[in-house]
Amino acid sequence: MTRQLELGKPEERRKPEKRVNGIFWIILINLGLFVADHIFQVRSIKSLYLYHNWPAWYQFVTATFCHASWEHLSSNLFFLYIFGKIVEEEEGNFALWLSYILTGVGANLVSWLVLPRNAVSIGASGAVFGLFAISVLVKITWDWRKILEALILGQFVIEKVMEAAQASAAMTGPFRGGYPVQTVNHIAHLSGALVGVVLVWLVSRIPSPPDHEGPTLQGKSDKIR
């Protein structure tokens, strides 16, 4: 029925489908490293963790793709898909990857500066909170109906994100069975979200090119800058 109705629409009214691939690659990398680490027990994967006592520069990036347990991974992947898909649909593939890396690295950097030297940080939770903040900011408009919708749904979304935080990114204390004891790293969550807000603010300061297309960019004009 839908396809039949679409056939009757003028060509200019048909909206091309956006290809969303970046978020699936991010999810596949997280899944692949988890399988290699926890199922095949590839020892070299642990060198990707962020060891606070003497970190390598690349660990600030690679630690965002590693996870301590299936619960830790599954909760992060659920919200990665939701918020990452929104960011990619709104801003594109490059913006998604840039947002994931910068918010994840920012969260790990703050964690390294604040947490004890015996801590080990892994997980995408900082990036999840960063993508959450970005997806909210790029969707918000001054339309009162959109604001009301955000208020109604916002508390539910935030509650679910905080539940995911209970399986989150900071590892401290002695190792058990080759893996450190897991604790919640709220510093990574907050700093990841703040990096996302700062990233959107910085991008908003870049002057937009003149609008030669007319109505094609009209939908962007009422977004918060």
Ranges of each domain in the chain: 39-204
Mean pLDDT score across all residues of the chain: 77
CA–CA dist 167, 6 (Å, integer): 45
Q: Does residue 146 surpass a pLDDT of 90? A: no
The catalytically annotated residue of 121, 125, 135, 168 is 125
Nearest to 66 by CA among 23, 35, 42, 30: 30
Strand order across the beta sheet in which 170-176 lies = 50-51, 120-121, 170-176, 179-183
Q: Region 83-111: what's the mean pLDDT?
A: 94
The catalytically annotated residue of 52, 67, 72, 189 is 189
Q: Does residue 215 surpass a pLDDT of 80? A: no
CATH code linked to domain 39-204:
1.20.1540
Establish whether 189 is a catalytic residue. Answer: yes
Q: Does residue 32 surpass a pLDDT of 90? A: yes
Establish whether 67 is a catalytic residue. Answer: no
In this prediction, residue 209 carries a pLDDT of 67
Characterize the bridge pairing of strands 170-176 and 120-121: antiparallel
pTM, to two decimals: 0.74
